Amino acid sequence: MFIGELSRQTGMSTRGLRYYEQQGLLHPLRRSSGYREFNESDVDRVRRIRVLLAAGLNTDLIREVLPCMTGDGAILAPTCEEMAQDLVRERERMSRSIEELKAAHAMLEAIIRAGEPLVARSDC
């Protein structure tokens, strides 16, 4: 499929997909015309990329971990010790992020609850 079709199936802009290729996260074939040709497995691949990006990983690390995640859902071991250490660091950073998010979530929750009994207010 061409880039527009992949964009439709993933919800990612074509600009974003080209950026992913530039960062080494996607490796489409090329037609003689220069058109990129993606395959079905790239849909899942893009989804995985977005999950990891949303979690705060940068493209450098994503490029390293993607080969550990085959298209059929299998998981492979890290390909080198340095990468394994990076992964552990990122996992810890994520754990901290989750705790911070929960703390902030609790703050908002408390304020929202304090306001809910007063949905019908006269001020404001």
Partner DNA sequence: CTAAACCTTGACGTTAACGTCAGAGTCAAA
Partner DNA sequence: TTTGACTCTGACGTTAACGTCAAGGTTTAG
Provide the binding-site residues for its own copies, judged by CB under 8 A.
48, 51-52, 54-57, 65, 68-69, 75-82, 84, 87-88, 90-91, 94-95, 97-98, 100-105, 107-112, 114-115, 118, 121, 123-124
DSSP letter at 28 equals -
In the numeric block, the tokens 């990006």 are attached to 53
Beta strands per DSSP E along the chain: 29-30, 36-37
Q: Which does 40 bind (CB under 5 to 8 A by kind): DNA, its own copies, none?
A: none
- Cβ pair 33, 39 in contact under 8 A: no
For DNA, the closer of residues 43 and 59 by Cβ is 59
Cα 36–chain centre separation: 22
Question: Left if phi > 0, otherwise alpha if psi is -120 to 50, otherwise beta: which for 28?
Answer: beta
- Regarding 94 and contact with DNA (CB under 7 A), the answer is no
Query: What sign has the CA pseudo-torsion 85, 87, 92, 93?
Result: positive
- Regarding 93 and contact with DNA (CB under 7 A), the answer is no
Tell me the number of residues near DNA by CB under 7 A. Answer: 24
Stretch that binds DNA, among 30-38, 67-75, 84-92, 113-121 (CB under 7 A): 30-38
- Regarding 63 and contact with DNA (CB under 7 A), the answer is no
Residues engaged in binding DNA (CB under 7 A)? 2-5, 7, 12-16, 18-19, 23, 31-36, 50, 53, 57-59
